[in-house]
Amino acid sequence: MDTVIRTFAERGDLAHLALLVWALSASLAFWRVLSELARATRRFDDFVRELARFNARHNGKG
């Protein structure tokens, strides 16, 4: 890792290295948020399915 940083520093490409680090971290954050959103959608779908099953089972009673 030190050789990569040294190479970028010697060539004056520190801004590119900073941009690369930012882009990688932003992409990682995006994928984590996207996967959590997919899990939340799945949980909500399961909830709605169970609610519909409950309503179908108890429809007309009461």
The rounded mean pLDDT for the chain is 89
* pLDDT tens readout for residues 27-51: 999 999 999 999 999 999 999 999 9
Instruction: Tell whether pTM > 0.85.
Output: no
1 falls in which pLDDT band (50, 70, 90)? confident
Residues making up the chain, counted from first to last: 62
Tokens encoding 41: 């959608």
Task: Yes or no: say if 16 and 24 are a contact pair by the CB < 8 Å rule.
Answer: no
List, in order, residues 6 or more apart from 17 with CB less than 8 Å away: 5, 8
Is residue 53 pLDDT above 70, yes or no? Answer: yes
| pLDDT, average across residues 41-62 | 90
